């Protein structure tokens, strides 16, 4: 079945880096755009970034632009989020999601928790 | 860019219908027919309920329907059931090719 598995979260100090991964299975990964979406504890959903199916085009939310980099390895069916210069306000559960259709996120990964704290 | 505006909470009795609004601008909701809606139960990942304003993915109950007028999109849940109690978020494509979510609405079944 179509599945996304998020990993790589953990506790990290402010200013440090972390890389998240999203392993895809059950569909042709190289045919779909992919997103990262985050949710701070007790808060709503916040869109983070999108990467086109072929890796050619990417867009970011203003809150992470210049600090986060979205990438993919279509040979490994894996999406990544490199997070640098982390701040306390980046603390959240991070979900990857496939763009099934225009602005339709389906499915979602199970999420991975990133905690930025000293 | 600020989040799309949703009511913080909506409630209804079993069997009733409720509607959740999602207000944006002409740069997002009003400019494209790319509005989607997500249901999220506590501790779970979101699940798409509506996309392209009105379309329902296979497997989603036909009690869920979507619409749009100007800069405001709406999600209607008819025949409210206990299992519908959850948080709901709208999302839209934007003119800068980014995406934006709504502030979220907690639905309570009385």
The whole-number pLDDT of residue B35 equals: 98
The whole-number pLDDT of residue B2 equals: 87
Measured CA distances, B94 to A47, A68, B31, B33, B100 (Å): 12, 20, 8, 11, 7
Mean pLDDT score, A1-20: 98
Backbone CA torsion sign across A11, B104, A47, A64: negative
Q: Which residue of B has its CA nearest to A95?
A: B45
Cβ–Cβ contact B24 with A under 8 A: no
Mean pLDDT score, A53-68: 96
- The 3-state DSSP class for residue B86 equals strand
Average per-residue pLDDT for chain A: 97
The whole-number pLDDT of residue B28 equals: 97
Distance CA A43, CA B44 (A): 14
Place of tokens 């913080």: B8
Which helix (DSSP H) or strand (DSSP E) does residue B104 occupy? none
The tokens describing A1, both together, are: 């079945």
Cβ–Cβ contact A1 with B under 8 A: no
Q: β-pairing, A45-51 with A18-25?
A: unpaired
- The 3-state DSSP class for residue A5 equals strand
Cβ–Cβ contact B94 with A under 8 A: no
Cβ–Cβ contact B45 with A under 8 A: yes
Tell me: pLDDT of B101 over 90: yes
Our CA dihedral for A76, B40, B102, A12, rounded to 10 degrees, sits at -50
**Per-residue confidence at B9, pLDDT binned at 50, 70, 90?**
very high
**Per-residue confidence at B1, pLDDT binned at 50, 70, 90?**
confident
Which percentage of chain B shows pLDDT scores above 70? 100
Question: Which residues on adjacent β-strands are paired with residue A9?
Answer: none
**Residue from B45, B59, B98 to probe the interface with A (highest A Cβ count within 10 Å):** B45
Q: Which residue of B has its CA nearest to A93?
A: B45
The whole-number pLDDT of residue A64 equals: 98
Backbone CA torsion sign across A107, A36, A28, A5: negative
- The 3-state DSSP class for residue B29 equals coil
Q: β-pairing, B72-77 with B18-23?
A: antiparallel
**Residue from B46, B103, B106 to probe the interface with A (highest A Cβ count within 10 Å):** B46
Distance from CA of A98 to the nearest CA of B (A): 11
- The 3-state DSSP class for residue A16 equals coil
The whole-number pLDDT of residue A32 equals: 97
Q: Which residue of B has its CA nearest to A62?
A: B1
B63 touches B44 (CB < 8 A): no
Q: Which residue of B has its CA nearest to A51?
A: B98
Which residues does chain B have within 8 Å of residue A95's beta carbon, measured at their own beta carbons?
45-46
The whole-number pLDDT of residue A3 equals: 98
According to DSSP, residue B102 is labeled B
Q: Do B89 and A45 touch (CB under 8 A)?
A: yes
What tens digit of pLDDT does each residue of B14-49 get? 999 999 999 999 999 999 999 999 999 999 999 999
Distance CA B105, CA B25 (A): 19
Place of tokens 């839209």: B92
Mean pLDDT score, A12-35: 98
């Amino acid at each position: 079945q179509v599945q996304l598995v998020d990993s790589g979260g953990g506790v990290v100090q402010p200013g440090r880096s972390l890389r998240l991964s999203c392993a895809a299975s059950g569909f042709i990964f190289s045919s779909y755009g992919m997103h990262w979406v985050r949710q701070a504890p007790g808060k709503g959903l916040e869109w983070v970034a999108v990467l086109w199916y072929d890796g050619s085009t990417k867009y970011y939310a203003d809150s992470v632009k210049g600090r986060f980099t979205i990438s993919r390895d279509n040979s490994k069916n894996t999406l990544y989020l490199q997070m640098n210069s982390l701040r306390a306000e980046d603390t959240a559960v991070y979900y990857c999601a496939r763009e099934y259709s225009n602005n339709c996120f389906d499915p979602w990964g199970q999420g991975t928790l990133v905690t930025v704290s000293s | 860019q600020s989040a799309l505006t949703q009511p913080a909470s909506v409630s209804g009795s079993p069997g009733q219908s409720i509607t959740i609004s999602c207000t944006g601008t002409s740069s997002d909701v009003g400019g494209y027919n790319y509005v989607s809606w997500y249901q999220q139960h506590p501790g779970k990942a979101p699940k798409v309920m509506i996309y392209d304003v009105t379309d329902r993915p296979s497997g989603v109950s036909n009690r869920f329907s979507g619409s749009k007028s100007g800069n405001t999109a709406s999600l209607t849940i008819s025949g409210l059931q206990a299992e519908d109690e959850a948080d709901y978020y709208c999302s839209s494509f934007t003119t800068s090719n980014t995406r934006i979510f709504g502030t979220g609405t907690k639905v309570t079944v009385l």
